[in-house]
Structure 1
């Protein structure tokens, strides 16, 4: 039997969901009506407007609560599972030292116009994230963090001889993150040398790695140890 689930709001399986959006309409009764009409078109029945607030000139932000009839068959859900072991810091260093007999080199950056370095810093910098130290803390990793708004040609030049390149993309307007990563992949192909390419950010679909021309995509909640374990899996384990 399929494992089918529905959203939970007030009672189990009642289908209640909450969504938010902005409309280019000045706040007022007409704007409220437009928000409810949109919610109805989205399948919320009944829909309740629980919050409306002006945001800027001629725009209103809404929160709508309502019931949907949709359900999810968990047996049909496909996600990108981790296909490598999650190693300890000691095991990561040992594997690199024994297999490579040198330091594994990593270059990271935010490319294009993206100036949000929180993600790349969380993975690379010593302070790390979620109680884990960043890749700079691993003795057998040589890490270079180029920072924000790095042009792709500059990253390709800086990554000469690197084992792996990590890029973080937070800005997603008009699919800038997808365009930038495809540009990165094409630039390394044109250069005739291709390190392991890893992209990360909260709005990536982790199943799109092949489509974007990279080896791996890491999404929201990724920790430094996950990335380091993947580097060992791809670069410092016997194939």
Structure 2
């Protein structure tokens, strides 16, 4: 069945839970405003099940109620993984046989973004979701530049390290900073390198979707929940299996 409705208490009842903040003091009028907003979004009737003041001028709400909208799952567009998922042993073997050298990855949080939890989850040996990070792979050289790295510095280090791939994490999203920073990064690398010598550009973050790669000017986008093994497998597929190891810049 491809046509579905949300499930709350019983199948097909359309019940959903919604949370948001309004710039109003916490009182009965504020709750009425929350219900009005939920109604306009298609939730009717809407019940405020939780409200809490955030300082003197803001209120946080959780609203519960039914919606009448249907979803057609057959029309959902996703980017399927188009490469095999490899174990660390398989990744190391493929790099050793295919490149005959270590694969160099330079990672950073660029711009003013100081949230390294995402890039560290992929690069650091402690890893994420039970998987060890790329530092664990013997045939991968990891250069983690950390937070608040300027784009020109990232390009300079990429050249110095003769990077095969650039991994950029963006968590801060105010004023579309994650989009603007990533576009600036991709433009800088395309200007600094010939196309056949450019490192593979990978962007990641909780507010990115795989479909945004073209818009951002990168080769691949990884969203929330991505594991180190997925990234390592992608790099092997792109740089080794498909036989496109990059020329090394002087």
TM-score normalised over the length of structure 1: 0.98
Q: Which residue of the partner structure matches residue 156 of structure 2?
A: 157
- 1:97-143 CA-to-partner distances (Å, cap 9, x unmatched) read 11100000000000011100001001000110111110001010010
Q: Give me the whole-angstrom Cα distance separating, in 2, the residues matched to 1:74 and 1:210.
A: 24
Using the TM superposition, give the Cα deviation of residue 5 of structure 1 relative to its aligned residue in structure 2, in angstroms.
1.0
Q: Give me the whole-angstrom Cα distance separating, in 1, the residues matched to 2:193 and 2:9.
A: 57
Q: Which residue of the partner structure matches residue 219 of structure 1?
A: 223
Using the TM superposition, give the Cα deviation of residue 174 of structure 1 relative to its aligned residue in structure 2, in angstroms.
1.1
* Superposition map of 1:99-178 within 5 A: 99-160=98-159, 161-178=162-179
- 1:154-192 CA-to-partner distances (Å, cap 9, x unmatched) read 101011120000000011111110000000001111212
Q: Which residue of the partner structure matches residue 200 of structure 1?
A: 204
Q: CA RMSD in A?
A: 0.9
Using the TM superposition, give the Cα deviation of residue 205 of structure 1 relative to its aligned residue in structure 2, in angstroms.
1.7
Unmatched runs of 5 consecutive residues or more in structure 1: none
Q: Which residue of the partner structure matches residue 28 of structure 2?
A: 29
Q: Equivalent residue of 1:13, what SS?
A: coil
Q: Give me the whole-angstrom Cα distance separating, in 2, the residues matched to 1:99 and 1:238.
A: 10
Q: Which residue of the partner structure matches residue 56 of structure 2?
A: 57
Q: Equivalent residue of 2:241, what SS?
A: coil
Q: Which residue of the partner structure matches residue 188 of structure 1?
A: 189
Structure 1 segments (4+ residues) deviating >6 Å: none
Using the TM superposition, give the Cα deviation of residue 57 of structure 1 relative to its aligned residue in structure 2, in angstroms.
2.6
Q: Equivalent residue of 1:12, what SS?
A: coil
Q: Which residue of the partner structure matches residue 237 of structure 1?
A: 241
Unmatched runs of 5 consecutive residues or more in structure 2: 244-250
Q: Give me the whole-angstrom Cα distance separating, in 1, the residues matched to 2:77 and 2:148.
A: 34
Q: Equivalent residue of 1:159, what SS?
A: helix
TM-score normalised over the length of structure 2: 0.94
1:179 pairs with 2:176 = no
